[in-house]
Amino acid sequence: MDRDTIAWDAENGTIEFLDQTLLPGEVRIVRCGDVERLAQAIRRLEIRGAPALGVAGAYGVALAVHRSTARDLSALQQEASHAADILAATRPTAVNLAWGTSRVLSRVMASASPDEAKDAAIREAKAIATEDVELCKRIGEHGAALLPDACTVLTHCNAGALACVRWGTALGVIRSAVEAGKQVSVIACETRPLFQGSRLTAWELANDGIDVRVIPDSAAAHLMHKGRIDAVVVGADRVTNDTVFNKIGTYMHAVCARHHAVPFYVAAPYSTFDAASSEGDVVIELRSRDEIAWCGDRLLLPAGVDALNYAFDATPLDLVTALVTERGVFHPPVSTEGLNRARRTI
């Protein structure tokens, strides 16, 4: 992609982001000047994907501080804290969001004056965004080395440039492999119900000239059975000491991959690691019936029939062949010490 998914517009004091709900039909940049609008954008998945949510949370707290008219430091800090709470509550599963808000908030809390707080908040949010690109590049390099010179990779949801600032995690691995001269074909699962695979992954890979075909999610097992998939590479919303949380359907691919002896790789930066938590500590977001009941303006569910719309699922770490991080490749079982090493900042 030739632009960042999300960025700070210093001239206008706003956040600019690409509205992902409109892709692939329309590329629209949204200028956002208040925290409530940003929270809405996150809830509606205009901005989505764990690393991008971390950056959005960071910019959101910076925006609140930047726009504040409070003259008194403690009032400004309260506003920042309130903004962080609103944003962190929008989506509960991806740990990056709260990580991004709290990283900027801690700068605000450590400041000695409102001016210092404003400056520190913007600088920290920008640093998080810059760091994200660097982390993805490193993840890409480590992950690319795992892929054969010619291979077909299955991915789920969108863990690409759109889910980060640029480059991507799982798609970063694929981009880096292609950049290194490997011949990689991608099978993108469409990823019901919001189609991040067909709308977003296929869009960004096709734009980069990377070979991509889209399958219904339910075709993955068949392709593995036929020996058509050499590796599965996905991103993550949170990695605890026992579990990878990622888009609903990921667990199904991990089980199938194990059954067919296909390597299953999870690519994620340190901000996605939550080594202090276990599976049971994590809230899996339950989204609206409407996302399943409607496809555009077409009704797919009979009136009176409910849906069960979990946005993410939990894949036990022992189904993961390797965790690909900016610090290298970790093979489960990974000790808490190993997870902490993966989590340490660059």
- Which tokens sit at 157? 């949801």
User: Nearest approach, Cβ of 10 to ligand MRU (angstroms)?
Assistant: 26
Our CB check for ligand MRU shows the closer of 152 and 191 to be: 191
Residues 46-85, interacting with ligand MRU (CB under 6 A)? 48-51
User: Nearest approach, Cβ of 84 to ligand MRU (angstroms)?
Assistant: 19
Catalytic member of 217, 237, 274, 313: 237
Which of the ranges 3-11, 68-76, 230-238, 288-296 carries the binding residues for ligand MRU, by CB under 6 A? 230-238
Number of residues that bind ligand MRU (CB under 6 A): 18
Nearest to 232 by CA among 192, 265, 190, 185: 265
User: Nearest approach, Cβ of 211 to ligand MRU (angstroms)?
Assistant: 21
237 catalytic residue (yes or no): yes
In the chain, which ranges are continuous DSSP H helix? 35-43, 50-67, 73-88, 95-109, 114-144, 170-179, 202-207, 220-225, 250-259, 290-293, 336-343
What backbone torsions phi and psi does residue 141 show, to the nearest 5 degrees?
A: -65, -45
Among 247, 253, 327, 343, binds ligand MRU (CB under 6 A): 247
15 binds ligand MRU (CB under 6 A): no
Q: Are strands 298-299 and 264-267 parallel, antiparallel or unpaired?
A: unpaired
CB 189 within 8 A of CB 224: no
Which of the ranges 98-106, 203-211, 229-237, 255-263 carries the binding residues for ligand MRU, by CB under 6 A? 229-237
Among 173, 232, 236, 275, binds ligand MRU (CB under 6 A): 236
d(CA 52, CA 100): 10
Site string for ligand MRU, 171-210 (x = CB under 6 A): -------------------------x--------------
> Could you write out the three-class secondary structure of 175-213?
HHHHHCCCEEEEEEECCCCCCHHHHHHHHHHHHCCCCEE
CA atoms within 13 A on the CB side of 339: 21
Q: Give the interface with ligand MRU as residue ranges (CB under 6 A).
A: 45, 48-51, 94, 157, 159, 163-164, 169, 196, 235-237, 246-247, 311
Residues with catalytic roles: 237
